[in-house]
Amino acid sequence: MNKSMWSFRLSTASLVLIPVAVGINYIGKTLASVLKLPLWLDAIGTMLASMLGGPIIGALSGAINNVIYGLTMDPISFIYGITSLFMGLVAGILAYKGWISSWSKAIIVGIAVGLTAVVISTPLNISFWGGQTGNLWGDALFALVMAKTKLVWFASFLDELVVDVPDKLITVLISYAIFRGLPNNLKQLYKSNNKIESLD
Amino acid sequence: MKALTLYEDRNTFIHHVHPINKLIYIFIIIVVPLILPLFPVLIAGIIMNTVLLLIANVFKKSLPIFGFVLLILLTVLIIQGLFHAENATPLFHLGPLLFYKEGFFYALQITLRVLNIVAAFMILVLTTKPSDLVETLVRKGLSPKIGYVLQSVFQIIPQMLSTMETISDAQRSRGMETEGNLFVRIKAFLPLLGPVVLNSLIQTRERAMALEVRGFSSLRHKTFLNEVKNYRYTTFIQFTLWLVLLAAIIWRVVL
Give SS3 for B94: strand
CA separation for the pair B156, A121 (Å, rounded) = 28
Tell me, yes or no, whether B150 and B116 share the same domain.
Answer: no
Within this chain, do residues B124 and B172 fall inside the same structural domain, yes or no? no
Contacting residues of B for A60, CB less than 8 Å apart = 149
The per-residue pLDDT for A192 is: 53
Looking at the fold, whether B73 and B22 belong to one and the same domain comes out as: yes
Q: What angle do CA B238, B243, B244 make, to 5 degrees?
A: 100
* B46 belongs to a structural domain: yes
Q: Looking at chain B, which residue has its C-alpha nearest residue A145?
A: B83
For the packed helices A44-53 and B182-213, what is the interaxial angle rounded to 10 degrees? 50
Q: How many structural domains does chain B have? A: 2
Partner residue opposite A152 with nearest CB, options B85, B122, B198 = B85
d(CA B230, CA B88): 57
A residues 13-32 lying closer than 8 A (beta carbon) to B: 13, 15-20, 22-24, 26-28, 30-32
What's the pLDDT at A184? 87
A-contacting residues in B 34-63 (Cβ below 8 Å) = none
Residues B156, B241 within the same domain: no
Find the mean pLDDT for residues B101-122. Answer: 92
Q: Is B88 on the interface with A (CB under 8 A)?
A: no
pLDDT grade for B160, boundaries at 50, 70 and 90 = very high
Pick the residue from chain A with its C-alpha nearest to B71.
A134
A150 contacts B118? CB cut-off 8 A: no
B119 inside domain: yes
Radius of gyration over every alpha carbon of chain A, rounded to an integer in angstroms: 17
pLDDT of residue A196: 46
Which chain B residues in 188-247 lie under 8 Å from chain A, judged by CB atoms? 188-190, 192-194, 196-198, 200-205, 207-209, 211-212, 216-217
In a domain, B4, yes or no: no
Q: What distance in Å separates the CA atoms of residue B170 and residue B182, rounded to the nearest whole number? A: 22
Best residue in B97, B146, B157 for a mutation probing chain A (most A CBs within 10 Å): B157
Using alpha carbons only, how large is chain B's radius of gyration in Å?
24
For residues B24 and B81, state if they share a domain. Answer: yes
* A–B interface: beta-carbon pairs under 8 A: 172
pLDDT digits (tens, 9 = 90+) for B176-193: 888 888 889 988 999 999
- For residue B231, pLDDT over 60 is answered with yes
Every domain of chain A and the residues it spans: 13-193
User: Which residues in chain A have their CB less than 8 angstroms from residue B75's CB?
Assistant: 132, 134, 139
- What local confidence, expressed as pLDDT, does residue B46 receive? 95
Mean pLDDT for each consecutive 10-residue tract of chain A (200 residues)? Answer: 61 91 94 88 95 93 93 84 96 92 95 96 91 86 89 92 94 95 86 52
| pLDDT given at position B226 | 86
B60 domain-assigned = yes
Residues B185 and B105 in one domain: no
- Residue B222, domain member (yes or no): no
Q: Are residues B196 and B240 in the same domain?
A: no
> Stretch B150-175: mean pLDDT, rounded?
92
Residues B192 and B235 in one domain: no
**Class for domain A13-193, per CATH?**
mainly alpha
Residues B45 and B120 in one domain: yes
For the segment B163-170, the average pLDDT, to the nearest whole number, is 93
Q: Look at residue B42 and tell me if it is in a domain.
A: yes
Asked if the model's pLDDT at residue B53 lies above 90, the reply is yes
In a domain, B6, yes or no: no
How would you write A61-130 as a 3-class SS string?
HHHHHHHHHHHHCCHHHHCCHHHHHHHHHHHHHHHHCCCCCCHHHHHHHHHHHHHHHHHHHHHHHHHHHC
pLDDT at position A187: 86
Residue-number span of the structural domain to which B200 is assigned? 143-213
B7-20 pLDDT, tens digit each: 888 999 999 999 99
CA-to-CA distance for A66 and A48, rounded, in angstroms? 16
pLDDT reported for residue B1: 46
Write down the H helix ranges in chain B: 19-35, 39-55, 59-83, 101-127, 130-139, 144-173, 182-213, 234-254
B157 and B240 housed in the same domain:
no
Q: What is the pLDDT of residue A8?
A: 56
CA distance linking residue B117 with residue B199, whole number of Å: 38
Q: Say whether A182 and B201 touch across the interface (CB within 8 A).
A: yes
pLDDT at A172: 96
Asked if B202 lies within 8 A of A68 by C-beta distance, the reply is: no
pLDDT, mean of residues B94-98: 82
| B193/A174 Cβ within 8 A | yes
B19 with B124, same domain?
Answer: yes
Using CB atoms, pick whichever of B83, B148, B194 lies closest to residue A143. B83
Q: Which among B71, B146, B197, B207 is the top mutation candidate for probing chain A, defined by the most A β-carbons within 10 Å of its own β-carbon?
A: B197
The reply to whether B105 touches chain A by the CB within 8 Å rule is no
Mean pLDDT for the stretch of residues B105-131: 92
The interface pTM score, or ipTM, of the predicted complex is 0.87
Among candidates A20, A132, A146 on the partner chain, residue whose Cβ is nearest the Cβ of B204: A20
Gap from B134 CA to chain A (nearest CA, Å)? 11
Same domain, B24 and B58: yes
Confidence of residue B124 (pLDDT cuts 50, 70, 90): very high
